[in-house]
Structure 1
């Protein structure tokens, strides 16, 4: 039993069997068979198939768009879609086209608005940890600073879906391990390229953050996203291992490669005020996986809904919405990417509990919920096309810019 399985085992045994209304999905399997009445699968690329079909739900019919991905096929690769910075957004089709993906779906929930903090810029940065091309891009915000529906019991903003360098998909937790070293001692690092820092901490911002203002990182508290911004802040810029400048208010603008900006709030700000120009400072960080020692090629946040074939206890079974999810089958060798249609006739969607049931019926042993509503988007190339097209109807009536997504790539066949 894995660490993740142990984490949910006790409460999962007590979970009530959910959603018997999905008997119409019986017989569906990830290995190519869709539920009764589904359209035949269309091959998008070697090892990648697209299907769409109706799903009977408690509040009406939902319409699913599904990609099945066989990671055992050597010509298939999964990677992170993102606009090149943590605090940036673009549509899924723009990201997929820019990176050459043949298909993809939207990813994590994100800092979409700042109505509680007038004058503060929404960053567009995602909630959870992100690994891009094997390197840490950002860490998770505190649970209370999360955007999106309530988390199921036992989950957190550190939960991720990822694919390892061994080409297997997994669910895991990624926590930040970092420190700031000066000649006087060492300080813990409380954040990395994230839109909200823990109260009293110091966070690091690098060139991977982007150019958006860093003020939002000092707003809210660990338990209340809407709490006022801190009035006790300080920022220090480190270049080539030395302090080059400082300010009492977090700044904005691009951060040059080789430069790290440290932002502190409350106790963290008080520590940063002790730094002086020319002082030597080094910053180190990494994202530590709880369940796997295999390095991740990419990972992004969301939250688990299905663990070892069992729906997580406490899943919401009342609120229906348009959803995006990813399922894992065949011990991480096969995936199902699901995006619901946001057209008016299907907009009632599914509850999270229904999503878990559907993903199980489609053959997933583990499943992970991603951002939904107006963010839900699935793109794929049509046969013979050179660019992706949007397959579902986004519920906003157009694609919403998002911070990241899951991209499916096709590797050319080796030439003899």
Structure 2
């Protein structure tokens, strides 16, 4: 078997709605705002409203901050808030101000800690796919490598909330479709700017990744995030479609525009070892929707809790927490972005099942859970103000830096 044969032989998603709130678990949602709050039903900008309300729940009253967005208004759009790199974090308020957003909430779950892998740094990168301005930033990690609460049955890390170029919001799933082409054939691409790669695969890292170490991508397994890091790794740097360097271990530091770093583990590493300096290599990647051919302008990860007005089967009814969620109404034309308050008197929060019920009572047909706890943040700019203000009380006492969020933008 030749060296070339050896490489490939190894294998392959209103204010009117809020005004007509129904009953939740036998008790009404109460729109009583605390002292100093923006008045209920306040219009922040054309097509964007803000309201606070109380939600009776199993573990006490939760206090919710809700943004309403009317995508039928051509002056309104959504896009991703992020700090300029996948493997980076910043407060929601800072990202919103930097991007010129009128409001925003925190987004996907992320690689927040690495206590199981001494010496390996947490990257801060998110679990699921991410798209901004139509540009694909990253793909999803394996289900077993995710951070966050247990997923509802039938859901996974590829699930997203997004808005298409048709200006309609929806829930979907986005899978990576990619390849590595050389003069003798193609290899499958197993990851894109991910903190965890599937076992035996090759992943691509681009300038979108940032400066964080790529070692974490080779730790854990497809079913066990805490499993040891692989000892069989290899890295190939491709610049302007030519191999320019080779390494036995994943590196760190910024990646220049026009450069792709390929990281392999196990079988993927063995395949990369057959590459050589100067070899022509083309890396292709895209995210493929499971439900539509409409391209996405914006998308981020989390998990669905409500579809077609019905809670998903198997939602957790026990663990309560401060939570963030987004709801879709009127065929994707109206949105409800919810962040619970983390002040001590409200910290009982909601269970995932209660989140689904709450989003349905608010008028959502579909709803999507985002990162919660200390990450839960809702920031909004008052009419005439130049900067946003954090409207809820983060449960940690201050804003937690997060890797991404949903930004609401308006055009005068």
Common fold: TM-score over 0.5: yes
| 2:240 paired residue number | 240
How much has 1:74 moved relative to structure 2? Answer: 1.3
* Aligned match of 1:368: 368
Deviations 1:353-411 (A, max 9, x none): 00000000000000000000000000001232111000000001000000000000111
In the TM superposition, 1:13-412 aligns within 5 A as 22-25=25-28, 35=30, 37=32, 40-412=40-412
Report the TM-score, using the length of structure 1 for normalisation: 0.91
Q: Deviations over 1:27-62 (max 9, x none)?
A: xxxxxxxx5546521111011010001110001010
Classify the secondary structure of the residue corresponding to 1:355: helix
How far does residue 135 in structure 1 lie from its aligned partner after superposition? 1.2
Cα separation, 2, equivalents of 1:147 and 1:370: 12
Local SS of the residue matching 1:354: helix
In 2, Cα distance between the equivalents of 1:37 and 1:117? 46
Secondary structure of residue in 2 paired with 1:60: coil
Q: Contact 1:24–1:36 (CA<8 Å) still a contact in 2?
A: no
Matched residue of 2:402: which SS? Answer: coil
Q: Kindly report the root-mean-square deviation, in angstroms, between the aligned alpha carbons of the 2 structures.
A: 1.0
Equivalent residues of 2:31, 2:52 under 8 A apart? no
Q: Distance in 2 between matches of 1:45 and 1:99?
A: 16
- Residue 26 of structure 2 aligns to a residue whose secondary structure is helix
1:111-161 CA distances to partner (integer Å, 9 max, x unpaired)?
000000000010000000011110110000000000000000000000000
- Report the Cα distance in structure 1 between the residues aligned to 2:329 and 2:27, rounded to whole angstroms: 21
Distance in 2 (alpha carbons) for counterparts of 1:187 and 1:36: 56
Please report how far the alpha carbon of residue 21 of structure 1 lies from its aligned counterpart in structure 2 after TM superposition: 5.4
Which contiguous aligned blocks of 4+ residues in structure 1 show a shift greater than 2 angstroms?
Answer: 20-26, 35-40
Contact 1:138/1:194 (<8 A) preserved: yes
On the 8 A contact 2:233/2:263 being kept in 1, the answer is yes
- 3-state SS of 2:327 partner: strand
Equivalents in 2 of 1:37, 1:103: separation in Å?
A: 21
| C-alpha contact 1:25 1:36 (8 A) present in aligned 2 | no
CA distance in 2, matches of 1:302, 1:21: 24
Cα distance between partner residues in 2 of 1:132 and 1:74: 19
Describe the SS at the equivalent of 2:213: coil
Structure 2 Cα separation of the partners of residues 238 and 37 of structure 1: 58
Q: Following the alignment from structure 1 to structure 2, what is the Cα–Cα distance between the partners of residues 247 and 374?
A: 38
Give the distance between the partners of 1:66 and 1:40, measured in 2 at CA. Answer: 10
Shift in alpha-carbon separation, 1:217–1:57, aligned structure 2, 3 A: same
* Alignment partners' CA distance in 2, 1:213 and 1:51: 41
CA distance in 2, matches of 1:410, 1:308: 28
2:6 is aligned to: none
C-alpha separation in 1, matches of 2:245 and 2:149 = 40
Q: Secondary structure at the match of 1:105?
A: strand
Residue 24 of structure 1 deviates from its aligned partner by 2.6
Equivalenced residue count is 385
Structure 2 portions without partners, runs of 5+: 1-22, 34-38
Determine the C-alpha separation between the residues in 1 that align with 2:371 and 2:311.
18
Shift in Å, 1:22: 2.5
* Deviation string, structure 1 residues 232-253 (Cα, Å, up to 9, x no partner): 0000000111100010110000
| Contact 2:24-2:357 within 8 A present in 1 as well | no
- TM-score normalised over the length of structure 2: 0.92
Q: CA deviation at 1:199?
A: 0.2
CA distance in 2, matches of 1:291, 1:23: 35
- Match of residue 8 from structure 2: none
Secondary structure of 1:368's match?
strand
